Structure 1
């Protein structure tokens, strides 16, 4: 799954890993039921609901997409701690290379495991990756029943407002 990335983005969204469906169709967060695109719209990151095949429009808005782990799976819970840790090392290299203002990791468990932060919570993190702020948001997968769409939109909006994105 190729990254949607450019130097010095405002926000680089980072999923845990692509779904098999996304890998097959070639677009991030493409699986029906994934709430990433609706959360972006409801939080004001986009002025309309984008479809996964319109993902390139994010670059114009200063946003990109990558993943902690490149391997596509049916569910992120099959990833090993070793895969997440290795993915975290690769992600840090990528972030230092592309220098986004903010890295928004979409999954608290992935952040905790990949960066050895077992007590991390949602929201802004105290540590930075180089000059990049880190913010943790819930995983928008439809398989994550802990957050309703309204809560996802509110948490995404907190990031947008903190980054002064309009």
Structure 2
């Protein structure tokens, strides 16, 4: 679910089995993506995974690093992450979102060969697209609560809201 020129393109690791079955991103009931997106102020109300198309009206989109569905992200191999990083770079280059938000620091490190990456804004860019690494909203990520995740997501929202849209010269 992407479009040209988004404010933020969220990028999950890969589809879980529930997402693969329903066609809706972050569809597993224990996943905190949708509540955190709302708590952080990206959406005016809590959206259900089946309402993911509404994100486009807020200048938001969702994609994945790796397309292959798995029960757990740790089932993915290094080659899949590397190839996913190449494909994601091509997608971002084509679509030109202002921000790419990768949800999961481990996935970002593997896909972009950046072992030192931390949660937050990154130094690297893809063209003019800036990159922010967010905590993984999976229920398996017990290090982050919904509230602390929402604070980090809100930091990205504030940065994205503060952006002045680029205008072509002329």
Q: When the two structures are superposed, what TM-score results if normalisation uses the length of structure 2? A: 0.94
Matching of residue 5 in structure 1 with residue 19 in structure 2: no
**How many residues are matched?**
162
Q: 1:56 aligns to what SS in structure 2?
A: helix
Moved beyond 4 Å, runs of 4+: none
CA drift of 1:133 comes to 0.3
Separation of aligned partners in 2, 1:144 and 1:64: 22
Deviation at 1:51, TM superposition (A): 0.3
Larger radius of gyration: 2
The one of 15, 34, 43 equivalent to 1:18 is 15
**Residue equivalent to 1:85:** 82
What is the correspondence of 1:118-137 to structure 2 with a 5 Å cutoff? 118-137=115-134
C-alpha distance in 2 between matches for 1:21 and 1:73: 9
Partner of 2:65 in structure 1? 68
Q: Separation in 2 of the partners of 1:163 and 1:98?
A: 16
Pairwise CA RMSD of aligned residues? 0.7
User: Structure 1 residue 61: deviation in Å?
Assistant: 0.2
In structure 2, stretches of 5+ residues that fail to align are: 163-170
- Structure 1's unaligned 5+ residue stretches are none
CA offsets per residue over residues 14-43 of structure 1, 9 Å max, x none? 000010111101100000110000001000
- Structure 1 equivalent of residue 110 of structure 2: 113
